[in-house]
Amino acid sequence: MQNDQKIRIVIYEDNRDLREGMTFLLQATPGLEFAGAFPDATNLEMQIPGLKPDVVLMDIDMPGRSGIDAATIVKALRPETQVLMLTVFEDEEKVFQAIRNGASGYLLKRTPPTEIISAIQDVHIGGSPMTSTIARRVLRFFQQQPPSGSSRPDYDLSPRELEILKSMVKGYSYKLIAEEHFISVDTVRSHIRHIYEKLQVNSKTEAVLKALREKIV
Amino acid sequence: MQNDQKIRIVIYEDNRDLREGMTFLLQATPGLEFAGAFPDATNLEMQIPGLKPDVVLMDIDMPGRSGIDAATIVKALRPETQVLMLTVFEDEEKVFQAIRNGASGYLLKRTPPTEIISAIQDVHIGGSPMTSTIARRVLRFFQQQPPSGSSRPDYDLSPRELEILKSMVKGYSYKLIAEEHFISVDTVRSHIRHIYEKLQVNSKTEAVLKALREKIV
DNA sequence: GAATTTATCACCCTTTCGTGCTATTTACCT
DNA sequence: AGGTAAATAGCACGAAAGGGTGATAAATTC
């Protein structure tokens, strides 16, 4: 993806010890080029364009601007820059926010130095290093399944009922659903009644919500 | 998540050398318990319930039933079993299919034995080991779907209207919303009309759908 | 201080929904 | 062949939702 120049790295990390430790680590590693380190991301617009980092190590909790907002801005300024988030906790919400905002990797601060180095190299060649715990959360989000997958309720809808439900999820009125399926409004009503019974709801909105949250629809 | 019993493992892998190699590896590793190995997944319904594996190593390309279908069935039979996919190539489509079908990890066959072992332990305690390349693909999928972050449409709802919208998203009727906010049904109606105008919809269901899909609500 | 926005309430009228009950045809099960 | 479930359709009634119009008071903005 990139040539074999040194990988230019910028650090945003409010903890001084950590920041200096990582700076030292980067400077001591061949193949990496330390480009700068800052305790906060407030002036990042002025820093990134000049420093032209290949990889940014971004602390997620910083005074002033959060690492998540900072990640967004970095990607906006230099899309080719890879952002590696560093955090103490694997906060579910923050992980997803960071990912949506363009972060390419997600590591815990307690990760050993050698692994941080390889994560940097990894993210630079197009990988997305992350802890397997975080990976699981991401996957789970994909699968949109309940925690330990033990009990997914089975509402036992007939194929037709499922079709009708899908139309409902499109926001259609009875009349529209009837037209869409070439059946009478009364039939639609009939199906919907059965759907309500099976889903244990009693309004279109509730049915749609339940369908969206629990089913594939 | 689990107790500290041995981790029971079943292998599905059509390549004999690989299968036997992994069998040997598992048997030689303390903490793991080899429970069975098969060259294909065609009789998996008969095997899984009896063997009760904690982790299944699943080749993705097998004669007869594909590893992806097999993963689905394993999860259906024993949701608590973790499925670790093994593959030669990082085929984008297959990765996603496997994930959607309940796979909890995704490794390349060329992964060194020690890492396979740690991946097994990892997946058993709730992690999702995967190569960083695969992780990147998963993240990219995440990132491309929502236009998100910087440009989220602003419908300019008043605080009150937002409140009402939230109630609507809870599936409440006008009456319930009125009670919840100590206002009359007519007022609720009024707010909802304004919400519809701003969101450009004309039914509760549509409003709720739009709210769910585009807003935070 | 005038204009705009926001929140509130009211009345009327039409359409859509939710529900109870019934009935016919098809298809599948054993 | 008889039983069961699904899909279809109808009727009827009351409740809920949606559209139109208008009005008042408070807060905010200009």
3-state SS of A82-117 is EEEEEECCCCHHHHHHHHHCCCCEEEECCCCHHHHH
What are the Cα distances from residue B188, in Å, to B53, B146, B184? 55, 31, 6
CB contact set of B50 (below 8 Å; sequence gap of 6+): none
Please report the DSSP string for B80-136 in residue order.
TSEEEEEESS--HHHHHHHHHTT--EEEETTS-HHHHHHHHHHHHTT---B-HHHHH
Tell me the shortest Cα–Cα distance from A124 to chain B, in angstroms.
Answer: 11
The answer to whether A203 touches B171, Cβ cutoff 8 Å, is: yes
For chain B, what is the radius of gyration of the CA atoms? Answer: 25
Choose the closest CB to A100 out of B103, B148, B171: B148
Q: Quickly give A202 CA vs D16 C1' distance in Å.
A: 12
| Structure-model confidence comparison of residues A215 and B72, the more confident one | B72
pLDDT at B4: 58
Residues of chain B above pLDDT 90, percent: 21
CB A105 to CB B208 under 8 A? Answer: no
CB B204 to CB A206 under 8 A? Answer: no
pLDDT bracket for residue A93 (50, 70, 90): confident
Residues B217 and B207: their CA atoms lie apart, in Å, by 11
User: Residues A106-127: pLDDT tens digits?
Assistant: 888 888 888 889 899 988 988 8
Interface residue A5 vs chain B (CB under 8 A):
no
- List B residues 19-38 in contact with A (Cβ-Cβ < 8 A): none
User: Residues B160-209: pLDDT tens digits?
Assistant: 888 888 888 888 888 888 888 888 888 888 888 888 888 888 888 888 88
pLDDT bracket for residue B217 (50, 70, 90): low
User: Residues B66-98: pLDDT tens digits?
Assistant: 888 888 888 888 888 999 998 887 777 788 778
What residues of chain B lie within 8 A of the CB of A101, using their CB? 148-149
Residues of chain B above pLDDT 70, percent: 91
Residues B110 and A128: their CA atoms lie apart, in Å, by 19
For residue A104, pLDDT beyond 70: yes
Q: Which residue has the tokens 């080899």?
A: B34
In this structure, what token pair is assigned to residue B125?
């305690």
pLDDT at B153: 60
**Residue type at A140 in one-letter notation:** R
Q: Protein footprint on strand C: which nucleotides are under 7 Å from a CB?
A: 5-11, 16-23
CB A208 to CB B208 under 8 A? Answer: yes
Q: Protein footprint on strand D: which nucleotides are under 7 Å from a CB?
A: 5-12, 16-23
Q: Which residue has the tokens 């971004």?
A: A58
Instruction: Give the residue among A205, A102, A69, A211 at the shortest CA–CA distance from B211.
Output: A205
Q: Quickly give A185 CA vs C28 C1' distance in Å.
A: 27
Q: What is the 3 state secondary structure string of B161-207?
A: HHHHHHHHHCCCCHHHHHHHHCCCHHHHHHHHHHHHHHHCCCCHHHH
Residues B101 and A143: their CA atoms lie apart, in Å, by 8
Q: Quickly give B160 CA vs D26 C1' distance in Å.
A: 15
Residues A208 and B205: their CA atoms lie apart, in Å, by 8
Mean pLDDT of A70-76: 88
* Continuous H helices in A63-217: 67-77, 92-100, 113-124, 132-143, 159-169, 174-181, 185-199, 204-214
Least confident of A38-52, A112-126, B37-51, B84-98: B84-98
Q: Quickly give A156 CA vs D3 C1' distance in Å.
A: 20
Residue to substitute from B209, B212, B216, B217, interface A, most A β-carbons within 10 A: B209
Interface residue A66 vs chain B (CB under 8 A):
no
pLDDT at A53: 93
Give the predicted TM-score (pTM) of the model: 0.61
Residue to substitute from A107, A117, A122, A139, interface B, most B β-carbons within 10 A: A139
Surface-to-core class of residue A119, CB atoms within 10 Å of its CB (0-12 exposed, 13-18 middle, 19+ buried) = buried
For residue B1, pLDDT beyond 50: no
Residue to substitute from B74, B136, B172, interface A, most A β-carbons within 10 A: B136
The highest-confidence range among A87-91, B146-150, B175-179, by mean pLDDT, is B175-179
Average pLDDT along chain B = 83
